[in-house]
Structure formats: structure tokens, C-alpha cells
Amino acid sequence: MIVWHRLFILAWLLLLFSMKHSFADDLYPLEPADTSSPRATLISFRDACEETYELFFRVGRSDFDESNSAHILTKIIDCLDLSQEPEFNRDYTGREAAACLKEVLDRIEYPADEEIPGADEIRDENGEIIIEEWRIPHTEIVIARIAEGPKAGSYQFSANTVRRATEFYSKVKHLEPLAESTPGLYQHFLSAPKSRWMSGIVYQLPEWTKKRYYGQAIWQWVGLVTVVVVGLVLMFFAHRIGQANKNKIEKLGVVRYILNIAFPIAAMLVPLLAREFIANDLSISGALLATTKFSCNVVFLISLIIVIFSASNRIAEVIISSPGYHPKGLDAQLIRIVSRIGGIVLGTVVFLEGGQFLGVPLTTLLAGAGVGGLAVALAAQDTLKNVFGSIMIILDKPYRVGERIVTGSYDGVVEEIGIRSTKIRLLTGHLATIPNEEMARSDIENVGRRTHVRRVSDIAIRLDTSPEKTEQAVEIIREILKDHEGLNENFPPRVYFSQLDRDCLMIRMMYWYHPPEYWDYMAFSEKVNLQITRQFAAAGIELALPSQNLMLTNEPGQETPGP
């Protein structure tokens, strides 16, 4: 009776202890792992792994509720130095390393807890740290003190130990687990799907599909290939649809044009969904998972940069489509350039931040961006000259679309001002494309911006015309131009007997026609010419005919004047 009484008390005490431990976890879910010494770290790691193991095998991986056990997993991760791992893969790396290290600890003999350096043993009598790291005897598993960072001063399994955890496990997995261990944790971690529906499918598959090759089961390889192929096909068609409607704002309308960016966004999300499916449902593990996640993240990063560029272009086109902007004008090009520069800046920031997330050091990214930028600049220096030339044209605005300009040997109407070149419809009907770099440094005469059309004409009358007739000719022209069509008060017509030539008498006529409508000006000039001709004929004033002297040469050095 006494024996049963004592056993009952012992069982009751154990129950109270377990309840106390459970209540403590519930009451203090934010309490971190004790990593104040190698002993504390090892005990915290071991206890958290055993608690996770019990829950893991009691409910199964597919029903493992991480929201209720997050504090336990956090304690495990707190015992590992993951500072050398890429941020995107730290969670998986930490869990895999923890499973491997726990399997190793279950198979090797290591010192009792009291023999491992504790908080009192790591310091001397002056309080100075004397133990920076502790190695489990006869192994390469090291618990080291963190020197810097948010975990400075704590003891964690070293970064090298975390990195080589799977290697350590592969060397001892043939050994039998010790008593009161957690056998099979790593194997279950690798093979069991996390989702309930995938678990049901896998359990119904033939046994040959569960054989492992290169670290993964056959069904996992088949699932991985299927996900990759389907993901690439979905991304391809989503990008094609998005690109097909990229420049059709006139047909789609503003709202549909903006919403059409959903296709490239959907393509961008495909690698994220594939990554989560591969990690959680297919339960791919090891180096293959790290490579797959890295590849998915790289594809996502590239897709995100493409979406940023596409969004910047669409924003520019939406602004340009509003009233007041000519789609091929200088203001439209300025909006496009500013939008593209903004897209490039934002894309560069995403590239640098994404690279750091993938584990690439910032210095390497900056060096790569610098070398890549230099290579692009050297390879596309002519294009860059034209881009800067277009910026100068946009800032100075020497011409606009629809204006007639004269530059060099080109005379015509501007049809388009692009990022690289300006297109001019010549008066002959031909289309000339001139690089903006050349346009920016050329002399440009903007005929389209003239305020008037000026005519300067010399009218020649016969040399033997009398002074009275000459004076009458001047008065006739002045009377014709008095209050003429297109007159501006600030530009009155001018008529003068300007020159006494050896062959004729010259009268210079000048007038300005407003507004500068060229064909109206030509019609008016025709009227003026006809009136001058008629009134000169009526007054007996003859226009001088052009004269020409011919020299006939008979022999070298001997000239005979012509008749």
C-alpha cells in the first residue's frame, strides 16, 4: 500500500511538473532561449527540440500548427548562428540544421550538463570572459560566443557548425540512437509533406515513387518538374498578353489600359507561389530546395523590375493621353523620359535590396552595377548621346511637332520627336530621320514660329526711263501696298529707288504679311505682281530685260567683242 501511495505521489508530481512547464510556455511565449553560456545553449536547444519532436510526431507534419508552437521554434533558431546564411533561406536552413544536430546529439556521447561550461565557468574572478567557444569532445560541433550584432554576447552553435550539420548527420546516421532520444526526426522532416491533401496523395502512391534519388523521392522530382514547367508556361502567356496591349491605350481606354498591368503582376507572383508549393507541399529539401528557392526569388526579382518599368511607361502614357498633350510632342517626351528615369531608379533600388535578400553583399552588387553600367555606357555611347541630346531639346524646346524648321540641308515639318531621333517631313515629301545628338548641336531656323512673312523684291526698269517715270513707278508701287492685306501697323511697307545700275534702274519693295500663313501670302503676292505689271504698262513704264555680254575668242590670247 505504501508503495502504491508513493508511486501515486510521484506520478502526481510529474504531472504537476509537466503542467507547470506547459503553463510556463503559455504564460511566457516571448521568453527567448537561454544562450548565456555553452551549457545553457545546449540545454535550451535540446529541450526545445524534444518538445517540438513530441508535438511533431503526435499531430503529424501536415497538422503541425506552427502558430501554436512558434515560440518553441524561435527558441531553437535562437541557438543557431545563421548570420552567414542568405536571408531568404534562413528559416529552412535553421530547421534542417536543428534536425540534423539533434539527430547527432542522439547518437553520440557528450559530457553531462554539469561538465559543460556554465555562466560561472565562462568568466574569471574579475568577470572577464575566458571561454569564447566550447567544442563537444571528439567532434567539430562548436558553440561559440557571438562577438557583434544583435546577438552579441550570446552563445550559439557556430555558423560553420550550422553549415556542416547535414554532413555531421551523414557520418553518424548509421549509429543506433541512444536511449530517450528522438530518432527519425530528420527523415520525417525530409519526406513528409506539410499539407494534409498532399499527404493523402503521397500515401496512396506506389512504393517505387517513394524511393529517393539524389536526396529526393521520385514523386518529389516529378512534382518539381511539373511545377517548373507549368510556372514557366503561365509566366510566358501572362507576359505575352501584357506586352500585346502595352501600347494600345487608344483602343483599350485608360481604365482597361491601367488594369491590363495585372497580367505582368500575375506573372511576377507565379515564382512566389511555385516556391511556397515546392517547399511546403512537395517538401523538397537540402541543397535542391535552396537552389530552387534562390532561382524562384531571382525570377521574382527580375519580374518585379520588369513590372516597375512597365508601370512607369503606363503611367507616362496615361498622363500623355489627357487633353493638352500631343503624343509625339516635346512635353510628352519629357514625361516619358522622367517616368523612365524614375523606373530605372526604383528598379535599381529593388535590385540592390533584392540582391542583399538573396545573400549577395552590397559591395558586390554595387561593383557589379558599376561594371555593368560602364559596359553598357561604352557599348551604347551613341544611344546615350542621343538620349542626352533629346533631353537638351526638351529643355530648350527649339521646335515642336507640326512646326517647319530648317537645319543644315533639311527643310520640312517636324513629325515626331523621339528619345533617339527627330523625324522631319521634307518639302519634297521625303521623311528624314536625324539623331537628336546632331539636332542638339545644330543651328536650327524655326520657320513655324515666325510672326510674319517678309517679302523683299527688286523691280528693274529700263535704264533710259526718265526721272518723272521713275518717280511715278515708285508711287504706283507705294499706292498698291497702301493699307494692304495682312498689314501690321508696326511693319509698314517700304518702297525706294534703291540702285542705279549700268543696265537698269532698281526699285526695292519690302512688305510684311501677317499672320504668317504662307499660301495666303503667296496669293497676295500674286495680286501685287499683277497690279504692278498692269499699272506699269498703262503708264508706259517698261521693265528692264536681263542683258548678257558674250566674248568670242578666235585664238588663244586674242578676244573679239561680241555684237
Residues 2, 8: Cα–Cα separation, whole Å: 10
The answer to whether residues 240 and 267 belong to one domain is yes
The residue count for the chain: 563
Instruction: Encode pLDDT of 142-173 as tens digits.
Output: 999 998 888 899 999 999 999 999 899 989 98
- pLDDT computed for residue 458 by the predictor: 93
- Map residue 316 onto helix, strand or coil: helix
Domain-terminating residue out of 192, 223, 244: 192
Residues 102, 57: Cα–Cα separation, whole Å: 15
User: Mean pLDDT highest for which of 35-39, 301-305, 437-441?
Assistant: 35-39
User: Mean pLDDT highest for which of 152-161, 178-187, 297-306, 348-357?
Assistant: 152-161
The answer to whether residues 257 and 166 belong to one domain is no
pLDDT above 80 (res 46): yes
Instruction: Encode pLDDT of 303-321 as tens digits.
Output: 888 888 888 877 777 777 7
The answer to whether residues 324 and 355 belong to one domain is yes
Percentage of the chain lying above the pLDDT 70 cut: 75
The answer to whether residues 278 and 377 belong to one domain is yes
Residues 417, 462: Cα–Cα separation, whole Å: 52
**Alpha helix stretches (DSSP H) within 321-361:** 330-357
Determine if the pTM surpasses 0.75.
no
Q: Report the number of distinct structural domains present in the chain.
A: 4
Asked whether residue 199 is domain-assigned, the answer is no
- CATH number of residue 441's parent domain: 2.30.30.60
The answer to whether residues 407 and 500 belong to one domain is no
The answer to whether residues 155 and 176 belong to one domain is yes
- Dihedrals φ, ψ of 202, to 5°? -65, -40
pLDDT above 90 (res 266): no
- pLDDT computed for residue 430 by the predictor: 92
Report which of residues 262 and 372 the model is more confident about.
Answer: 262
The answer to whether residues 327 and 308 belong to one domain is yes
Q: At what angle do helices 90-105 and 38-59 cross, to 10 degrees?
A: 100
The answer to whether residues 238 and 374 belong to one domain is yes
CB atoms inside a 10 Å sphere around CB 17: 10
Q: How confident is the model at residue 442 (pLDDT cuts 50, 70, 90)?
A: confident
Report which of residues 305 and 68 the model is more confident about.
Answer: 305
Asked whether residue 53 is domain-assigned, the answer is yes
- pLDDT computed for residue 10 by the predictor: 36
Asked whether residue 559 is domain-assigned, the answer is no
The answer to whether residues 218 and 327 belong to one domain is yes
Instruction: Encode pLDDT of 199-239 as tens digits.
Output: 667 767 787 886 777 767 788 888 889 999 998 998 888 87
Q: Are 386 and 437 in contact (CB under 8 A)?
A: yes
Asked whether residue 19 is domain-assigned, the answer is no
Q: Which long-range contacts (CB under 8 A, 24 or more apart) does 327-331 make?
A: 328/401, 328/415, 328/416, 328/417, 328/418, 329/400, 329/401, 329/417, 330/393, 330/394, 330/397, 330/400, 330/401, 330/417
C-alpha cell at 17: 511538473
- Map residue 444 onto helix, strand or coil: strand
Give the mean model confidence (pLDDT) for residues 246-259.
62
Residues 171, 220: Cα–Cα separation, whole Å: 25
Instruction: Encode pLDDT of 318-337 as tens digits.
Output: 777 777 666 666 677 777 77
The answer to whether residues 366 and 460 belong to one domain is no
Domain-terminating residue out of 422, 448, 474: 448
The answer to whether residues 66 and 181 belong to one domain is yes
Residues 195, 423: Cα–Cα separation, whole Å: 61
- b/e for 30-63, b at 16 or more Cβ within 10 A? eeebbbebbbbbbbbbbbbbbbbbeebeeeebbe
pLDDT above 60 (res 13): no
Q: What domain range includes position 399?
A: 394-448
Report which of residues 337 and 275 the model is more confident about.
Answer: 275
Average pLDDT over the chain reads 79
The answer to whether residues 136 and 158 belong to one domain is yes
- pLDDT computed for residue 495 by the predictor: 94
User: Mean pLDDT highest for which of 6-10, 54-58, 316-320, 555-559?
Assistant: 316-320
CB atoms inside a 10 Å sphere around CB 240: 11
Asked whether residue 202 is domain-assigned, the answer is no
Asked whether residue 55 is domain-assigned, the answer is yes
pLDDT above 70 (res 560): no
Asked whether residue 88 is domain-assigned, the answer is yes
